[in-house]
Structure 1
């Protein structure tokens, strides 16, 4: 729950936004029984598996497993925090945010932000109008046409022109009633150093509007019309709205396609993003600078699992790529590098080669390891012995970071061949390097073995039957509250193997004890773990699968028998293993106790 807004306000926002209306803004929904179905907006699919329940006000995708209430949906689809999702939906429903009596500073901050957003919206309109409808912007308009951008693209990306006047924007915004202090804080206006007065930061430049992920203008990038003028690009400074390390140009347009494809292409420049979009490549963003930041990596991780870096093919671009690779990898993203060659940027490459050829570069993209190796080997004199020794030392930590044995062996062979050294020598050097990290690798291997064991257990047919029985029982409890008491009399928390089932079971029982009814959204709010909330949404969206003629009590008894039977079987297997171990160790006292427990278990089954 949000610490900023109380539960009454959050419920007001929830009731004021119907989940069908909200979700329909992102994907086409069609009625299917009591629910609605459509293509999932979070992953690419051809057959609809995304279900929304108007009765429960919940959604669940049986394809990718996402689910939750209206706040979860907006958090996922827009990449927002819970508080931001509440504010987003409050604004959508025209609900005023409550005043926080104990936080006047926050009230001032929120008020200032609204005004700065309005200033940037007006500035966007001002620049766009001059570009499209004024003689002042004719040269800039012709420049954009020469770059291949048509009017439709200009309007979509809200491109503009800053006139070659000292106070063009200043006079326009001042006439709207904004104070000089606020205009300076926006970053669009600067105070004169040696005299009174103010002037525009951007003059005689093509303007690129920078939007946040909610499509709100927060900053600008201005490009000179002549390459002789300097600096070539001038960007908004850091302001209360804009921090380039926390934003990505084009994310507001790209995020839907990023969700569907689960991948993104990162470029350096505004025109790379715009050209890609013109050619129908929508999952492209720009990093607002040559260096990716950890904040940008975290943003990307909300939307995708795979990242392609397509920076310019110059030395600066290669260095920036190398820095970005580690930042993205650290965030858990799968990273690959697109090489365009001939020192072309994506904008030029797409225009020259076309969409299909550009997309094919992804198939030939270089892995993180390969790119790092290439960078170490680049421009090295490998005929020099000392140089080769230094190269080996630089490559050892890169090779050691490869967990897969086959992959590591292939790279070892590749490096040995390029350096013209014996493979056995390189392996020996890597073994020496590895010793210092051996213990960490051993611990990691144990974790991998545990994960493998868990995967094998999940494919156990007995466990599948148990899982179906538990899910069926919980659905009966949700849809037929009269059965809750009967389940409580037969089962307890320890009868459920998985924590999500335990938490949902105990929370249902507690809510029923307090309210004598089960309200799904109240139950959802009481669950602590996100995985438990997703389990609830899945079961709630599935609904009651039995008609009125079915004997629910009989079905309930069958579910309970299967659950108890699975638990009994697990205990038997555990005791059998312990009995076998006691026999091998000839520990007859412990063996006697274990056999008695085993007999007790068999009698209970009878």
Structure 2
């Protein structure tokens, strides 16, 4: 479960006035020196044993022998959990009109069974809408989650450098807060909505969120409906046996970044190729580095008939398998290559340094975009025969805000009739960073030493398909 950032807690403790919360609860306070006193609403109090210390923003009841700050007051006054109290105060601080004011009378309660926060979904929505609304809620939560944004940055997917990434792929984070907003499960509506969320795979039988503590990546079909969702745990310090990669229950569905596959199929004949990754994070890495003709399997055994059907329906001619460079990835790439070649597709293997995947390679190489272009350019031909050497590949910037207008990039062969070499597509959020402006040397730190790759500019560049 994602922990609440200390900065968020500190802000609530400093910016939410305990005195205002107590007075708004109907407690009359009288000034006594630097403090204020009043009758505690949590027990029969005839002696004004409640003390408020404004300069410390704390409260204490000498009768109950309890006290604390703004969060503690809301927990006691509203009968809610710590996380629920934090969410209430955050909404109050934001001035949300949809949240009942915390000025409600403070009465001693054991635990509230009426949710004060608005529900993230419509209780009468159908299953498709329920899934979409939940993932839209996750999407909004990610934009407010320092932990999730920091995770993206550590994976080389920094939203500051790629400002369209989060909205383009509707990335989200599951942080356990939907349960604080749904009606309680002991109420009719609460039990019904939880049963439906469990049916579509967002809640487990235990009542916990399926994707709790994960970055959530939805996969859309051609109509824009969510067909699949992938979750990657934000933290690696998990209990042994806890899976880091999650999907919705049932068979995999949908094609990740289908728009990129469609665009690849619109290139000229001989230039229609797609990069196929092992994991969605790797595919996002290629996309951020400027290669838009990318999609992903759902793990080493997760290449589906639907992905193959999309390749064939959109006229894809060539697949660059960019699976991890480990034993499992190599075996899966060989097996998949045989299948794709049998379907009439040309196949090349993108070869990373041993033991690396696309994301790790991109994070260790600088600049990442040119490093990925290098391994694409040097992808190993699979199957019988071998393509002729490529004479030149060039690139040009595109408008990253208009996905449908981004031109594909393709290789040209040196000999007539020879099979084309690997191609790529540029989706750089900063079109000014053209290959000609990049350093003359690639650097790859590997612990005790740093590898330097020189003369890469002599390698032919990418050319857009006309």
Band of TM-score, shorter chain: 0.3 to 0.5
Which is richer in helix?
A: 1
TM-score (norm 2): 0.48
Which is richer in strand?
A: 2
Find the structure with the greater CA-based Rg. Answer: 1
